[in-house]
Structure 1
Amino acid sequence: MTTYKTFAKIYDEVMDETVYEDWLNFTTRHIGDNPKEILELACGTGILSVELANLGHQVVGLDLSKEMIELAKERTTPEDDLLSFEVGDMLDLNKNEDYDVVTCYSDSLCYMPDEEAVQTVFNEVYRSLKSDGTFLFDVHSIFKIEEEFSEYSYHYQTDEFAFLWESYPGDVPYSVEHFLTFFVKENNQDELFRRYDELHEERTYTIETYQSLLKQAGFSEVKVCADFTDNQPEDESKRWFFICQK
């Protein structure tokens, strides 16, 4: 098992499973019941893609990590003609397909290094959508970055691994650095654990900045809401959601 496969399995275990149901409900609420062709960016191990396909949508899950995609493919069978997974970069959606819907959840856009990269993603998504297509995504709010992630600490352990997550303010405005440490049991025959470390850097922007970048990409209508609801963001909203129409 590669390092990233180990991380992916751990991520699935420590992730709150109910959040996938929240993303699913948010998506279906905004795209309707009729079958759609959907591209899920940053699909990870494919949990949401599978659920969307189970509802009758034609889904392509895309992720930069080959190891994540390998795990996602384990969720499929040869009979799954509505679901496929591909390794790919949201900064370069060099495909000829046109989609009814593109999604990008789990604050994946916050991993873009700067505004230029975010603009590139918006441009690529716009180009990949049909003329009346919908782009759904979420990002961390400024409150989440500056208040809740300030000196954030989370520890989780089982008999097979331990996971330590520490967060600190980043070097640029509205940014955070997540230091992740994993202690993973080598095998079932002994008590040896191997340590792995990762640094994750995220940043967000004002709602007005996202709206401006989306407008530059060509989106004609943008609605902003918060925390899996259709309500407008408030000062202490944690996650902003954008519903964008081409």
Structure 2
Amino acid sequence: MTIYKTFAKIYDEVMDETLYEDWLDFTTRHIGESQKNILELACGTGILSVELANIGHQVTGLDLSEEMVELAKERTTEADELLSFEVGDMLDLKKTNQYDVVTCFSDSLCYMPNEEAVQTVFNEVNRALKSGGIFLFDVHSIFKIEHEFPEYSYHYQTDEFAFLWESYPGDVPYSIEHFLTFFVKETEEEDIFKRYDELHEERTYSIETYEKMLSKSGFTDIKVVADFTDNEPNDESTRWFFICQK
């Protein structure tokens, strides 16, 4: 089962909608008000892409999951000339156009298996950006991976499904394993639920490691802030944001 295959069906319901507002606010603060051509990597079901298009930006949403992209496309109409969605891999952006802005939020980079893969993403993003373009992304901090995620437990239930999320330390430094279990109602007529299990593996690195890789990819102006603010990270910041200029 591919990652998110089941999760895509109930993704919107289990996600905190206020996070999308925070990502939208953060993005608009750092790209200005004039219309931009934006590529949103790991766009999921397209909520942020839609909001960016609604305020006048030309947006392409890209996601590895066909299921996510199908849900995202349901948000569009024939009148949405500023918005499109595609299935694609952030590890290979050769076929994409050039953009003013590339974003990659929701700690999606933490799903890369190793530093080499992260470096490849940075290289591909740099190539996809116009000169002077901006790359915005976020990742989990080491503090969150080491102190907040271990033994994390979350349960969510409706009449249609139940969702269980348990997290445990991974096998490599600064990594975490999320065990997701879904019980999804099969039919409306009968209370029969089918169980699905997924393993999501994430890892992060030090800020210095990210900065070194970004510089190697050709980014010359790199700023790091934390937790949706424009403040520098501290020892207990949970999410690091990078603002990078080509």
TM-score band (shorter)? Answer: over 0.9
The answer to whether the aligner puts 1:208 opposite 2:208 as a matched pair is yes
The within-5 A match list for 1:31-110 is 31-95=31-95, 97-110=97-110
Q: Distance in 2 between matches of 1:24 and 1:197?
A: 31
Q: Distance in 2 between matches of 1:6 and 1:235?
A: 35
- 1:5–1:71 CA contact under 8 A, matched in 2: no
- The one-letter amino acid paired with 1:200 is H
- The one-letter amino acid paired with 1:119 is Q
- The one-letter amino acid paired with 1:213 is M
The within-5 A match list for 1:1-12 is 6-12=6-12
- Cα gap change, 1:4 to 1:117, in 2 (>3 Å): closer
TM-score (norm: length of structure 2): 0.98
TM-score (norm: length of structure 1): 0.98
SS at match of 1:195: strand
Give a deviation string over 1:156-195, Cα, whole Å, max 9, x none. Answer: 0001100000000000000000000000001110110000
- The one-letter amino acid paired with 1:230 is D
Residue aligning to 1:226: 226
Gaps of 5+ in 2: none
Deviation at 1:9, TM superposition (A): 2.9
- Cα gap change, 1:173 to 1:11, in 2 (>3 Å): same
- 2:154–2:164 CA contact under 8 A, matched in 1: yes
- The one-letter amino acid paired with 1:100 is D
- The one-letter amino acid paired with 1:138 is D
Q: Distance in 2 between matches of 1:57 and 1:37?
A: 6
Deviation at 1:95, TM superposition (A): 2.1
- The one-letter amino acid paired with 1:42 is A
Residue aligning to 2:13: 13
Gaps of 5+ in 1: none
Residue aligning to 2:197: 197
- 1:165–1:179 CA contact under 8 A, matched in 2: yes
Give a deviation string over 1:70-117, Cα, whole Å, max 9, x none. Answer: 110000001110000000000000225110000000000000000000
Deviation at 1:136, TM superposition (A): 0.0
The within-5 A match list for 1:177-192 is 177-192=177-192
Residue aligning to 1:162: 162
- Cα gap change, 1:21 to 1:103, in 2 (>3 Å): same
Deviation at 1:7, TM superposition (A): 2.0
Q: Distance in 2 between matches of 1:171 and 1:4?
A: 22
Deviation at 1:5, TM superposition (A): 5.8
Higher alpha-carbon deviation: 32-41 or 8-17: 8-17
Residue aligning to 2:135: 135
Q: Distance in 2 between matches of 1:70 and 1:237?
A: 34
- 2:6–2:196 CA contact under 8 A, matched in 1: no
Q: Deviating runs (4+, > 6 A) in structure 1?
A: none
Residue aligning to 1:152: 152
- Cα gap change, 1:5 to 1:111, in 2 (>3 Å): closer
- Cα gap change, 1:126 to 1:3, in 2 (>3 Å): closer
- 2:61–2:85 CA contact under 8 A, matched in 1: yes
